[in-house]
Chain A
Amino acid sequence: MASFFSPALNEKIKGFLGRYETRRSSILPILHAIQDENDWISKEAVQALEAEHGLSVVDVNEVLSFYTMYRKTPPKAYRLEVCGSISCWLNGADKTISTAKDYIAAAEKSGKPVPFECHKVECLGVCGYAPVALVNKDRYLNVTPDAAVKLIEDYSNKDLPAAAKKCAADLAAAAQKP
């Protein structure tokens, strides 16, 4: 049977399985690797880890559900994650978040949706330059409401990232199956 994972990803997974003292230690890096390629971690991926690589689904799911960075549902292509913890909040993160959410909602309503979702997350660790935000893996400092809108506009005009394309393709393929 064909592997659930791409050959390159399988190689990575095997690399991680041998990299640490125990196979279990490789769960976190493997999940990161899957997410980097597929944009999220599906149930099928977890089950494939058990079937193909012998990692217990319970162990994997414990880790998957415990850490917030793993996405358990298919996301939009870009995630604007704005820190809402104390330092960023003091510098107006709430405003940034609501502006970004409103912008996304308005775009949705106007019929020209942007491939964005906006979340409030806990501390991103660069508190001096608040508010701090991530767009996927890119970090931005001093993200004022205007800056957030600009970020959304800039990214929306770019080509979608590879992971997002793969995610969309996977979902389309899954929808085709009975």
Chain B
Amino acid sequence: MSNQITLSINNQSISVPAGSTIMEAAQKLGVSVPHFCWHPGLSIAGVCRFCMVKVEGMPKLQIACNTPATEGMKVDTVSAEVKDAHKWALEFHLINHPLDCPICDQAGECELQNYYMKVGKYQSQMEDEKVLKPKALDVGDTLVLDTERCILCSRCVRFEDEVTKTSTLGIFNRGDQATIGTYQGRKIKHNYSYNLADICPVGAFTAKDFRFKCRVWFLKEAKTVCPGCSTGCSVNLFQNSNQREYYRLKPRHNAEVNGHWMCDTGRTMYEHLNASTRLSAPLLNGENVTFHAALQAVSDATKSVSADKVAVVFTAQFTSEEYSAVLNSLKTTLKGTPKVFVWREETETEESFDGILFRGDRNPNTRGMTEVLKQESVGASILKGDFSALANAGAELTLVFGPEVESAYPSLAKALSRFVELKKSVYFGNTLNEVAKKFWLRIPVKTFAEKSGTFVNFNGVAQKLKANPPVYPAVKAVDEYFADLGKLAQSAV
């Protein structure tokens, strides 16, 4: 193709589209060129001067991030000259860095540390006093800023200017007094602030939410999908490998869905996963029972009713697999199709969108649920603030599949109070809401972090969830419960 150019990096040849930079070519080839200020989701600043490479025919070293690749270009990233340049570039970054790694939350995932190990000079010649700058500044509800750790790569400033277009941050003063900050202690207020902590290559911006909670080397990450809204950002979920506690979510690059970012609402999606916010045992008529007893009760209840006397209430927060399992299992045991309702939050503005990622539809799998219902040719009525359709259905058994992310359902209590009025209503969910104790039967279920399955986002992109070890081993996912119910029914036969 004519708009492709071929260059060689360390004698390996690579073709990239015309107009690409050396950095992009190197990334494509898998050659690591050290960098701080370059970020694939932001414009080029070219200020860290770390990504020096040797281009044959050019007298000086060039920065890989802003040098356009040209046909036949020969780039070298490993020669002694280039390595020396990397070493010294890092040395200049470090001479005024406070090196307070022991108390810095970034330690362990800090690019300064990583590059120091990789290309560091080790023997610093800096013997003079370091430049001191303000530390631990409160710059908003979500972030703490340490201007001394900052290496002034300007990623955060560019993020504010280019992605959120809020421009709250600037670099003030000049020379070695240059300091990043907000104006006169103003706060960073937008729904994407945690991205600043992510893109900060050092510990200048750290998340308040995660501040001092855990050292990052105790965390292990799982690639999964954010359940916060119908965008379904690809995320990494971080769990402490010893204590099984969830600490945070970070965006995972996915060009199709979220690019490099995710919203602050999505960042809270770890809060409902930990044991203290979860139910551990089923509740039958207000008393704790075993999981077997609970399933037996459901099984018994399904035997004595006809299909049209069973109502199923879905929220769009379960996996596609779970919806299929429920419908298939009930069709088999009831020998008919139950009445299906979809419960939507009454305050929800389904079509709204903030222009970046966050959508008004706060359910991760609306599209997946719709597809399953269509596939199973089941018609569903919507319950949105008005529950009369359900009340008038005359169901003798109602299965409610409640939302996992309750923050997306501000009028949850009101809806629950309508459900508990029904005859034999069963609630699948983890709600700690007092009203839910009045359900005939309440069964805890796994969260998105513990189950495998598929979420289909608003745009039809299907993404798999990754199952982590469950917090309460006896608690299962809805599809697993219905598989068990099937077995119970068979053994009874």
Interface positions, chain A 30-62, Cβ under 8 Å from B, are 43, 46, 56-59, 61-62
**Complex Cα distance A56/B184, Å?**
13
Task: Decide if B184 touches A65 in the complex (CB within 8 Å).
Answer: no
Of the 9-residue stretches B12-20, B137-145, B169-177, B293-301, which lies at the interface with chain A? B169-177
Name the residue of chain B whose CB is nearest to the CB of A65.
Answer: B172
CA distance A65 to B177 in the complex (A): 10
Mark out the residues of chain A between 56 and 78 whose CB falls within 8 Å of any chain B CB in the assembled complex. Answer: 56-59, 61-62, 65-66
Number of interface residues of A (CB under 8 A): 10
Contact at B184–A58, with CB atoms within 8 Å? no
Mostly helix, strand, loop or mixed at chain A's interface?
helix
B182 at the interface (CB under 8 A from A): yes
Contact A56 B173 (CB under 8 A): no
What A residues does B174 contact at CB under 8 A?
Answer: 65-66
Residues of A within 8 A of B186 (CB): 57
Whether B173 contacts A58 by the Cβ 8 Å rule is no
B210 adjacent to chain A (CB < 8 Å): no
Q: Which residue of B lies closest to A64 (CB)?
A: B172
Kindly supply a per-residue 1/0 record for chain B positions 154-196, scoring 1 wherever the CB is within 8 Å of any chain A CB and 0 otherwise.
0000000000000111111110000000111010000000000
Q: How far is the CA of A65 from the CA of B172 in the complex (A)?
A: 6
Q: Give the chain A neighbours of B170 by CB distance below 8 A.
A: 58-59, 61-62
Q: Smallest CB-CB separation from B184: which chain A residue?
A: A43
By a CB distance below 8 angstroms, the chain B residues around A66 are 172-174
- B residues 331-355 in Cβ contact with A at 8 Å: none
Say which size band chain B's interface belongs to.
10 to 19
Query: In this complex, what residue of A is CB-closest to B169?
Result: A58
Q: Tell me the bound Cα distance from A47 to B174 in angstroms.
A: 21
The residues of B that contact A57 with a CB separation of less than 8 Å are 183-184, 186
A86-117 to B contact mask, C-beta < 8 Å, 1/0: 00000000000000000000000000000000
A57 CA to B168 CA in the complex, in Å? 9
B167, A65: Cβ atoms closer than 8 Å: no
Give the Cβ gap from A4 to chain B, nearest Cβ, in Å: 15
Of chain B, the residue at the smallest CB distance from A56 is B167
Instruction: Name the residue in B167, B172, B182 with the highest tally of chain A Cβ atoms < 10 Å from its Cβ.
Output: B172
Residue of B nearest to A68 (CB): B174
Residue ID in chain B nearest A66 by CB atoms: B174
Beta-carbon contacts of A132-162 to B below 8 Å, as 1s and 0s? 0000000000000000000000000000000
Question: In the complex, what residue of chain B is closest to A67 when comparing beta carbons?
Answer: B174
Query: Which of B167, B170, B182 has the most chain A CB atoms closer than 10 A to its own CB?
Result: B170
Min Cβ gap B45→A in Å is 15
A160 to chain B, nearest CB (A): 30
B182 contacts which of A46, A58, A59, A65 (Cβ < 8 Å)?
Answer: A58
- Residue interface bits B252-283, CB-to-A below 8 A is 1, else 0: 00000000000000000000000000000000
Residues of B within 8 A of A62 (CB): 170-172
Which residues from A are CB-within-8-Å of B171?
A: 62
Chosen A-B contacts, 14 in total, with CB atoms closer than 8 Å, are: A43-B184, A56-B167, A57-B186, A58-B182, A61-B172, A61-B183, A61-B184, A62-B170, A62-B172, A65-B172, A65-B173, A65-B174, A66-B172, A66-B174
Which residues of B approach A to under 8 Å, CB–CB? 167-174, 182-184, 186
Using A58-B169, A61-B172, A65-B173 as known contacts, list a sample of 7 further A-B pairs with CB atoms less than 8 Å apart, ordered by residue number in A: A57-B186, A58-B167, A58-B182, A58-B183, A59-B167, A62-B170, A65-B172
